Amino acid sequence: MSGGSRVTARNRTKPRAGDGDSSTNNQGATVGRGRGKSRDHGPLHIMDVKVRTLLGIGFSFLALFLVSFLLYNRQARTEEDVEFRKLKRVVTPLPAPRMLDLPQFQGGHKESLYWGTYRPHVYLGIRARTPKSLIAGLMWIGMKDGQYLLRHVCQDSDVLNTYGWIEHNGRDYGRQVLVDQALSLTTSFLKENGNGSGFGGDWAVRLEADNVKSISDEAKWSSAHLFFYIADEEGNSLTLGREEFELHDDILLSSGLRGDVGGWEVHLKSKDKIEVHYAGFKTLHTHNLTELVQATLAFNARSTGLLALPDALEGSPNILVFQFSVKLPSVLDIVFVSGTDSKSSRIIDRINYLTGTILTRKLDERKKYFEDKYNRCFNTMDKVDSEAMFVGKAAIANLLGGIGYFYGQSKIAIPKGFTQKNGEKIMSYWPAALYTAVPSRSYFPRGFLWDEGFHQLLIWRWDIEICLDIIGHWLDLINVDGWIPREQILGAEALSKVPDEFVPQHPSNGNPPTLFFVLQGKDKSTFYWHGRDIATTRELNPKTLSSGLDDYPRASHPSEDERHLDLRCWMLLAADCLHSISEIIGMQNTSARGSFLTPKQLRNFEVLNQLHLDDVSGAYFDYGNHTEKVRLRWHDVNVGNTVKRELVRETLQKPHLQLVPHVGYISLFPFIMKIIPPESWILGKQLELISNRSTLWTDYGIRSLSKTSSLYMKRNTEHDPPYWRGPIWINLNYMILAALNHYSKVDGPCRSRAHALYKELRSNLIRNIVKNYYETGYLWEQYDQAGKGKGKGTRPFTGWTTLVVLIMAEEFPSFQL
């Protein structure tokens, strides 16, 4: 949004026709008397004044009007400016030094993480941690329903048998297996900073294409079409290695020059027979590359009858795509070398070090190091069997391999009560980078604030420097009011995966436990999540997206009188962390110390029980304006000139302020955060809720919502199936398991019961996740609480489902507050 204002022209008062000098001809005329005759009538003088006087009065009045008008508009503009300044705060960075400018994030650390598999939304994508990078990626031709289709972007509709990293260290090594019907592809990535290389070093990709071993001879493919591309997001022209690619042991595919890495070259080496074709494009819209290549293949096929790229270039192309048609099995090594414009570049030696048998040896070394580090970090060898260990390694590998680098500007929805001078409904955050893990490469390949805390429970154990770098990127997104957009959709590639209506972020909404000030409720010890729709007629229970638990039942009628139990617990965690940090750094500020009454206040067990406890059941609940008598019914709705049948919400009973009687994950938050004293009778009641098969317990994990809830497995709208209304989620099961582990180790009447539940729940979770992985090839977003624990939702979901590694390792955070 522009910082300037647009001045609109307003109509000025104009003199009417006829006003002028003719009036002077009748100067001094009066009403005639005597002899019955009068002079011709001149203007009627109400006051006996001169025209000059009248004009003076008129101009004086006009001047007064203009002054008043200007003063009014100045006041209006002042009010607009105040509103504009308030609005601008939303997109104003915190006036503090950037975290990523700290010395520990510069120098060797920055260079060591420069290149990586930082494009998680594609099956294999490489880029540098810079806003406009040189990017590379893999495509191949698959088949579906008898049609050829180009595989590139991770999507469920491709129906791959499996894909995902089975080893990845987050820095310089990864190995991934993709199975597309009969075709098995193994992609390996290795990075080195060799003698003579440019900034960030060199990297190699090994592509191994073969038939799946278990299929019949009739189903096997004889050949495959693989595509590898290199593109410059800055638009710099790329040079083609040669116009005709003959079979050689070393083929120069492309070269170029950039400010960050200097001169660079990409080479292909293989012992197998390869047919090479190419195409060059000039466009900055790299997020449309799939469609561009697929259209080029289709056009050339119609023209020549060949399923091949046309061996043609657009002028000064910034994208080069190479097609490798190979017999199966085949192995291809693709090498990127930087700094080729320096005198000591040693290009041939560096290529040899990253191809062939030397590359094989280095990949084997990195594989062994990955396995050794996994055992050191998580120590699961004596705790789970070999099948579970394999799944654990794949889980952490997919989390690390799913780390991405994004750059762009978040789109921010204009808060209610504010307007922009240009009438736009959104404004842009400042341009920023984000280095982050992602929940799912296919469905959620971007940063989520709520998810990232769970991701870091694993990543800090694996590589503390990567963890701190990720946290630093997130903290650099804080605005002047302490807010971070909860979902980061940065850059064209990320935007291409999100429907338009979900792109704008709302500054009144935050994820746990990030926002400390805009979420506070009317009572100092209560909090409520913002963002619930108070006017909806389509939702059975208005969603609470900012909580991360989306459609989990809350008060039926949103209001500022709500008290959200989970947020109260998150705020205690956040306040307690801030208090600990202040003690570590020796904060002496008096006003700051005063804010630390909050942890003590939120930790007050009696106050918690007064606000949220049902004394009869021993369960904790939200509080708000609620009725259970709400339903969705079909209604005929006029839409233009047509009538549509839609599900519309009906309220059959007037809501009133009360505890919201839905037992589920939220009911367990005081237990999860270990606020309940081990000697309290309430702890025994909590364990009863957890272990009761009629409420939360299953053989596959803890349900998100009790079977006794009126909204258990109910759709929220015509198009929204139940999400947090029954299915098993691993992040909350991990937190429940951590609490059971805690209470099994402290003295109290429930100690042995907590220990027994801990052992059984841990075993159930590991067994079901491992079973699903072997049956389907994926970790899943959630698991069916009723259908034998079958994986549900998005896959692969290698965000917080990777917490299964910590469950195997019996590593839990200290949530005790």
Q: What is the set of active-site residues?
A: 550, 781
The structure tokens listed for 328 are: 């199966």
**Residue 136: strand pairing partners:** 126, 230
The structure tokens listed for 64 are: 């007064």
DSSP code for 666: G
DSSP secondary structure string, 72-128? HHHHHHHHHHHHHHHHHHTT-B-SS--GGGSGGGSHHHHHHTSEE---TTBSSEEEE
End-to-end CA distance of the chain: 44
How many angstroms separate the CA atoms of 262 and 341, rounded?
6
Contact 512, 565 (CB under 8 A): no
DSSP code for 384: S
**Residue 138: strand pairing partners:** 228
Contact 360, 291 (CB under 8 A): no
How many angstroms separate the CA atoms of 255 and 246, rounded?
18
Strands (E) located in 193-246: 202-211, 223-232, 239-240
Token pair 């199966």 in the structure block, residue? 328
Residue 320 in 3-state DSSP? strand
Residue 652 in 3-state DSSP? coil
- Neighbour count for residue 182 (Cβ, 10 Å): 19
- Phi and psi at residue 667, to the nearest 5°: -60, -20
How many angstroms separate the CA atoms of 3 and 368, rounded?
56
Contact 506, 418 (CB under 8 A): no
- Residue 329, preceding peptide bond in cis (omega within 30° of 0): yes
Residues 277, 282, 287: CA angle, nearest 5 degrees: 90
DSSP code for 350: H
- Which amino acid, 99? M
According to the 3-state scheme, what is the secondary structure of 449-475?
A: HHHHHHHHHHHHHHCHHHHHHHHHHHH
**Helix-, strand-, coil-residue percentages of the chain, each rounded to 5:** 35, 25, 45
Q: Cα 191 from chain centroid?
A: 27
* Nearest C-alpha neighbor of 357 from the set 271, 260, 273: 271
* Nearest C-alpha neighbor of 93 from the set 431, 479, 434: 479
For 235: left if phi > 0, alpha if psi spans -120 to 50, otherwise beta; the answer is left
How many angstroms separate the CA atoms of 31 and 39, rounded?
8
Contact 322, 174 (CB under 8 A): no
The structure tokens listed for 367 are: 């594989």
Residue 184 in 3-state DSSP? strand
- Phi and psi at residue 584, to the nearest 5°: -65, -45
* Nearest C-alpha neighbor of 697 from the set 602, 765, 647: 765
Residue 223 in 3-state DSSP? strand
Strands (E) located in 301-446: 312-313, 319-327, 330-338, 404-408, 411-413, 426-428, 432-436
- Containing H/E element for 767? helix 751-776
Strands (E) located in 541-664: 613-614, 619-620, 623-626, 630-639, 642-651, 656-659
Residue 318 in 3-state DSSP? coil
